[in-house]
């Protein structure tokens, strides 16, 4: 078991960064990082990003310096590396294929949405989340296809993202209204997409709102992941709010988790409940504790 560190080759924020990884477990990695005073927000799914000023003292603390290609091989061999499809930059083609099934011929709108979902400050609320929601919709509706209005609402539900609760959803809904009207969609479809987007601000669809329940279930499906998946989700959310101090983030995140635990039901369809509810409550209670 060892901790590895590659050279500070990756430019960002006026400096260069190294990657810090474990060849055995995330627990080992988190323990080393915590002892070295590396903040949790520096964790990016399978590694920590650390500024070059920390390189020498991390080596002194026991990290093994290696070439970047060696570090990647160690991470792959450990089984901890996040697959490429789970990273934002590799998802343009699968997302385009999905877009063309519902809005073929509207390439400019697709590229605008892709640019929004690919904004560099997004870590959880990026293309990986978008694809996960679309895949969850497939899972919840198979063998049928999800309604087009629900799919479009998924594409727009975090299209505007600044980390401001309710305001983000409202601006995303207004964006959907403007862009889909320009694309020639019937008014009734445009209104329904915007309504669904607004629902994602509190995930409380009314009884009988099948479209709203479907979108909310898919949006919250991440809560029901395996423990390692859930840990990556929480770490990515922390990076989305890297501009907020640890104490303020912890207080705000605890409020979000309590809200989610108070939702009754948390998931609405029988299939979503069977797939995710038990694991979601376990994950949320564990995080709050």
User: What pLDDT was estimated at residue 13?
Assistant: 67
Can you give the pTM of this predicted structure?
0.71
User: What pLDDT was estimated at residue 165?
Assistant: 80
The model's pLDDT over 42-65, given as tens digits with 9 standing for 90+, comes to 887 788 989 999 999 999 999 999
User: What pLDDT was estimated at residue 86?
Assistant: 57
The model's pLDDT over 155-195, given as tens digits with 9 standing for 90+, comes to 999 999 988 888 999 999 999 999 999 999 999 999 999 99
User: What pLDDT was estimated at residue 11?
Assistant: 72
CA proximity to 71, closest of 136, 7, 139: 7
Q: Homologous superfamily of 88-288 in CATH?
A: 3'5'-cyclic nucleotide phosphodiesterase, catalytic domain (1.10.1300.10)
Give the separation between CA 264 and CA 277, rounded to whole angstroms: 11
The model's pLDDT over 122-149, given as tens digits with 9 standing for 90+, comes to 888 999 999 999 999 999 999 999 999 9
pLDDT, mean over the chain: 91
Q: Where are the domains of the chain?
A: 3-81, 88-288
Query: pLDDT category, 12, cuts 50, 70, 90?
Result: low
Element of type H or E holding 270: helix 270-272
DSSP category for residue 88? G
CA-based angle 142:147:148, to the nearest 5?
Answer: 130
């Amino acid at each position: 078991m060892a901790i590895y560190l590659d050279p500070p080759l990756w430019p960002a924020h006026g400096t260069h960064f190294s990657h810090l990884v474990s060849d055995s477990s995330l627990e080992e990695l988190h323990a080393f990082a915590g002892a070295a005073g590396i903040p949790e927000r520096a964790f990016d799914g399978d590694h920590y990003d650390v500024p070059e000023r920390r390189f020498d003292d991390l080596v002194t603390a026991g990290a093994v310096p290696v070439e970047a290609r060696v570090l990647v091989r160690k991470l792959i061999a450990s089984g901890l590396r996040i697959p490429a499809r789970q990273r934002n930059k590799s998802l343009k083609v699968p997302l385009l294929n999905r877009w063309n099934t519902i809005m073929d011929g509207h390439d400019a709108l697709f590229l605008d949405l892709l640019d929004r979902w690919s904004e560099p400050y997004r870590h959880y609320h990026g293309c990986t989340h978008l694809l996960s929601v679309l895949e969850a919709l497939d899972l919840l509706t198979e063998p049928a296809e999800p309604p087009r209005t629900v799919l479009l609402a998924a594409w727009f539900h975090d299209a505007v993202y600044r980390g401001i609760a309710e305001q983000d959803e409202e601006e995303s809904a207004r964006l959907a209204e403007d862009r889909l009207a320009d694309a020639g969609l019937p008014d009734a479809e445009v209104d329904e997409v915007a309504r669904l987007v607004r629902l994602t601000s509190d995930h409380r669809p009314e009884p009988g709102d099948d479209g709203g329940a479907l979108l909310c279930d898919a949006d919250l499906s991440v809560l029901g992941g395996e423990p390692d998946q859930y840990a990556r989700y929480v770490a990515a959310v922390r990076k989305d709010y890297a501009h907020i101090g640890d104490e303020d983030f912890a207080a705000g995140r605890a409020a979000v988790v309590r809200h989610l635990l108070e939702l009754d039901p948390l998931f609405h369809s029988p299939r979503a409940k069977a797939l995710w509810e038990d694991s979601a409550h376990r994950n949320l209670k564990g995080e709050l504790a």
